Amino acid sequence: MGGDLKPREIRPGISWMGAIDWDRRLFDELIPLPDGTSYNAYLVRGSEKTALIDTADPTKREEILGQLDGVERLDVLIVLHVEQDHSGSVPLVLDRYPEIEIVSSPKAVPMIADHLGIPEGRITAVEDGETLSLGDRTLEFIHAPWVHWPETMLAYLREEKILFTCDLFGSHLATNDLFAFDRPRVCEAAKRYFAEIMMPFSNLIEGHLEKLEPYEITMICPSHGPIHDDPDFIVDAYRHWVLDPPKNLVVLPYTSMHGSTARMVDHLIGALTERDVRVEPFNMSVTDLGAYAVRLVDAATVVFATPTVLVGPHPHIVSTAYLTAALRPKLKHAAIVGSYGWAGKAAERLRGLCSTLKVDWLDPVFTKGLPKEETFEALDALADGIAARHEGLESQ
Amino acid sequence: MDKWICTVCGYVYDPSIGDPTSGIDPGTPFEDLPDDWVCPECGAPKDMFEKVA
């Protein structure tokens, strides 16, 4: 199911194309999509040439090919990003328009060959700042690597001051709102998207935001989710997510098998609350990973809470720790708490998985079997340590 | 001093920070990193890095 969507005009001669994936619930077999997603392509007609910016996921090829039925001549296909949800229908567009010029960043050229089987010689590489004239309209290409692959670039339509950003500033949000006027909903979806996809590259995004500062931008057209007709809204949000210091927030991913670890988590939540430290527990047996990831954008501290399975940490927490480190959040402090039946090395092994996290580690708290008085005292001491380190941090 | 980026994983070596995990002091230019230094994120060798434009 996709809906019979025709191209939608954004400005005269500039149209949204693509597909809304209302039913998709998982991306990369990993990232939950509670609100579905969309794949946006954009058609730009100039007085001499017509360009298509990106395509759509190949599962939606019929939609985008149907929308192109009314486009007799297509001169240029711009690939801003080689990931298949945008480039996957490029070979089909190439079949339809065999003379079309394919344009991408130099880094994307071999990647298009590798991922789509299109010969490198068939692709025109454009340098940073290079322009492409469509007659009365001009596209300027802005290299912006690592948002979120090494080859990504942006395209700026000079006359209308529209910035096409592919994944940057996007959101997994299935909606037929062409524009992002439903601010709270878009902000939440865009922050989740940032957390899952962009956060590992925050330091590079900082540079990209600086690079974009001289550009006057009237509209940002991403490849997922609605168009930003008020670009400041999303650019300012990104600035906060990338640059703000972490907040007074502890994320507490946990799993419990027979209740000991859960009892410790309950106690720690109470102890942190008494000390005015914001805390959010996540039961990783049932938690939506994106809901956890989005809180990592702001959190100053992570506390992993795990029982012991065959000497090591519970696999749910292994997976959580691995992802936490991979997303490179701003976390400053970390701790591990949990329980074991007769012996265990859960804390050491978990910490080894997080070696790339730039955090100071507070002392772990573990109990053999049920938590006892000394366990609760150690958790109170941990809460004291966290509260002291969070002093002066803003709550929101 | 220039920042260098790992072409495998996007890690940025910032000489003002160094690489504390490998005992590299702040202020160490990328060029002065030992030949056997590897990306602290993904383990890629030095020749997989590019200067950040």
Considering only A84-98, A197-211, A343-357, which range has the smallest mean pLDDT? A343-357
Q: Does B26 touch chain A (CB under 8 A)?
A: no
Question: Under an 8 A CB cutoff, do B40 and A356 touch?
Answer: yes
What is the distance in angstroms between the Cα of B23 and the nearest Cα belonging to chain A? 14
Q: Is the pLDDT of residue A46 over 70?
A: yes
Q: Is the pLDDT of residue A3 over 80?
A: no
Residue A217's SS3 state is coil
Q: Is the pLDDT of residue A179 over 90?
A: yes
> What is this model's ipTM?
0.71
Q: What is the pLDDT of residues A332-362, one digit of tens each?
A: 999 999 999 998 899 999 999 998 888 999 9
CB-nearest to A356 from B5, B41, B52 is: B41
CB burial readout A60-72, b (16+ within 10 A) else e: bbebbbbbbeebe
| Total residues belonging to chain A | 396
Distance CA B45, CA A191 (A): 33
**More reliable by pLDDT, A69 or B21:** A69
Q: Is the pLDDT of residue A126 over 80?
A: yes
Q: What pLDDT was estimated at residue A1?
A: 60
* Consecutive 10-residue averages of pLDDT for chain B (53 residues): 90 92 92 92 89 84
Considering only A167-176, A269-278, B11-20, which range has the smallest mean pLDDT? B11-20
Q: Is the pLDDT of residue A323 over 90?
A: yes
Contacts of residue A121, Cβ cutoff 8 Å, sequence gap at least 6: none
Q: Contacts of residue A355 in chain B, CB cutoff 8 Å?
A: 21
Interface test with chain B among A147, A168, A204, by most B beta carbons within 10 Å: A204
A4 pLDDT tier (thresholds 50, 70, 90): confident
Considering only A101-105, A259-263, A355-359, which range has the smallest mean pLDDT? A355-359
Q: What pLDDT was estimated at residue A2?
A: 62
Question: Under an 8 A CB cutoff, do A128 and B52 touch?
Answer: no
**Amino acid at the residue A217:** I
- With beta carbons less than 8 A apart as the criterion, state whether A126 and A141 touch: yes
Question: Under an 8 A CB cutoff, do B40 and A201 touch?
Answer: no
**More reliable by pLDDT, B45 or A283:** A283
A197 pLDDT tier (thresholds 50, 70, 90): very high
- Vertex B5: Cα angle to B3 and B9 (nearest 5): 150
What is the distance in angstroms between the Cα of A330 and the nearest Cα belonging to chain B? 14
End-to-end CA gap in chain A: 40
Residue in the block written with tokens 């004239």? A133
In angstroms, how far is CA A357 from the centroid of its own chain?
19
Q: What pLDDT was estimated at residue A139?
A: 98
Alpha helix (H) ranges present in chain A? Answer: 61-67, 84-87, 90-96, 108-116, 183-193, 202-212, 231-243, 260-274, 289-296, 315-326, 346-353, 373-390
Distance CA A383, CA A249 (A): 12
Question: Under an 8 A CB cutoff, do A150 and B40 touch?
Answer: no
Cβ count near A269 (within 10 Å): 19
Distance CA A304, CA A242 (A): 24
Inter-chain CB pairs, A–B, below 8 Å? 20
Per-residue pLDDT averaged across A230-249, rounded?
97
Q: Is the pLDDT of residue A114 over 80?
A: yes
A29 pLDDT tier (thresholds 50, 70, 90): confident
Q: Contacts of residue A128 in chain B, CB cutoff 8 Å?
A: 53
Q: What pLDDT was estimated at residue B41?
A: 84
Per-residue pLDDT averaged across A15-37, rounded?
94
- The structure's pTM equals 0.93
Distance CA A157, CA A139 (A): 5
